[in-house]
With several copies, the nearest count.
Chain A
Amino acid sequence: MTAGLSRAQLARRVADDLEDGWCVNVGIGAPLLLPEQPTPGKEILYHCEHGLLGVGPAPAGEPDPDVTDAGKNPVTLLDGAASFDSSLSFAIARGGRLDLCVLGALQVGENGDLANWLVPGGNPGVGGAMDLAVGARRVWVMMTHLDKRGNPKLRKRCTFPLTGRGVVDRVYTDLAVFEFVDGVLTLRECAPGVTPEDLVPLTEATYRIDLQTRGVPA
């Protein structure tokens, strides 16, 4: 099966669901593509964990070494931007002032558990993911549907060390959109060219199907 969204298309798809005025943290990996997406008619304040708010796309000209995203890539500061130290930055997160955080994931459990910081035996590095996962009002995951070896990342239970328990609200993959509805993992949408049947062998987690019709932006 070759259908499915590219990374940029996935970012576009997630950006489409953001709401005007939201304060949104973007974690390392694919979520860092979000500030690159235009959101006409909606003003989004992007938050970077180390202490920046109001972050925009990569600069057209000379990058400023003091203005980077959480992945250390050069970005820009937009209207309304603010800078602060890392303790205030995580106060914003744990204190419930983030409307959303978008994180990458290694695995998501059908119980909403998130694993995104350690492949057993691999190189450890947790960053701010655990703070964001427990603090933000909503946690959306943006990930490939399968891992590099072709294993499903949506699992009955995560087998990798957890980032947070029962924290995930939605999962956007290259193949589909899932949402936890009253705690139950629910398939909401398939990517263009993908059918619910296609997902069955690619998804270990149990889920309900309750599709919402909405156009995927071009």
Chain B
Amino acid sequence: MIDKIRPDAAATVDGVHDGAVVAIGGFGQAGVPVDLIDALCERDVRDLHVIANNGGQGLPGERGIGRLLRENRVRRFSCSFPVNPAFFERYFSGEVEIELVPQGTLAERLRAGGAGLGGFYTPTAAGTLLADGGFVVRYREHGEPEKLLPRKESRVIDGRTYVFESPLRPDFALVKAHRADRYGNLRFRFGARNFNPLAAMAARTTIAQADHVDHTGTLDPDDVHLPGPFVDHVVATALELAR
């Protein structure tokens, strides 16, 4: 019998090790798997390479990515919009390395990883600092650049310049869904979908928290936003546990 429902968040993040590459869904406050991130922090996991769109500013109680950054659990951050003082402080002091990726490219790289592709060409960022190289990936302690982004491969296709981008294959994904069933089928709600299905597709192991976990019934096949084979563990969020 297939049953991916776990009793609590701690049980789901048990395998996440120091140094792991972890993709995390969410955009702003919408669709951030805060319970899973809390569970990760409570396990005291460190040296993570986090892949997430935002720096996590503005979440109630500064939960989410902000907490991971504030507790210095992140060594490398792949993101498009890391706006959060907790990040910038650590970036300019050399504590955290950045891989700044245009948002659409970040989404597509996760999808490419999930789809088993070797990479793709996108017109995005062609002729900019994020493709031509030179952007500061890491500072030294004293604020001088230590590591610069190398120039990316580009190619002219039908007269237009495209940049080569490689797939992302994180070890783990932490995602937040609205509904889940025991097969791991997920359904999201409005803007909370964002990067969640993509992170789940890309990762070798995907952990989902869901507001509503159906222990007996299942989602209608046409209502599934992300099918179960992309999901390994499901846990109900505190929201549901509280009821």
> Chain B, 137-157, contact with A by CB distance < 8 Å: what is the 0/1 string?
000000000000000000000
Interface residues on B, range: 35 or more
B116 in the interface (beta carbon within 8 A) = yes
Asked if B190 and A80 make an inter-chain contact with CB atoms under 8 angstroms apart, the answer reads no
Asked if A94 and B115 make an inter-chain contact with CB atoms under 8 angstroms apart, the answer reads yes
Q: Distance in Å from the Cβ of A211 to the closest Cβ of chain B?
A: 32
B66 in the interface (beta carbon within 8 A) = no
Residue of A nearest to B114 (CB): A95
Which of B58, B102, B193, B219 is close to A51, meaning CB atoms less than 8 Å apart?
A: B193
B172 in the interface (beta carbon within 8 A) = no
Cβ–Cβ < 8 Å partners of B82 in chain A: 124-125
Q: Which listed segment binds A: B7-15, B16-24, B41-49, B180-188?
A: B180-188
Residue of A nearest to B230 (CB): A97
Cβ–Cβ < 8 Å partners of B106 in chain A: 86
Interface residues on A, range: 35 or more
Cβ–Cβ < 8 Å partners of A216 in chain B: none
Asked if A83 and B191 make an inter-chain contact with CB atoms under 8 angstroms apart, the answer reads yes
B189 in the interface (beta carbon within 8 A) = yes
B94 in the interface (beta carbon within 8 A) = no
B135 in the interface (beta carbon within 8 A) = yes
Given A43-B2, A126-B130, A92 and B229 touching (CB < 8 A)? yes
A-B contact pairs, 22 of them (CB 8 A): A20-B1, A49-B104, A52-B221, A53-B227, A66-B31, A77-B190, A77-B221, A80-B182, A82-B185, A82-B224, A83-B221, A83-B222, A84-B193, A85-B196, A86-B106, A95-B114, A124-B82, A124-B100, A125-B100, A128-B104, A130-B105, A164-B128
Chain A interface residues (CB < 8 Å from chain B): 20-21, 23, 43, 45, 47-54, 64-68, 72, 77, 79-98, 118, 123-131, 134-135, 161-165
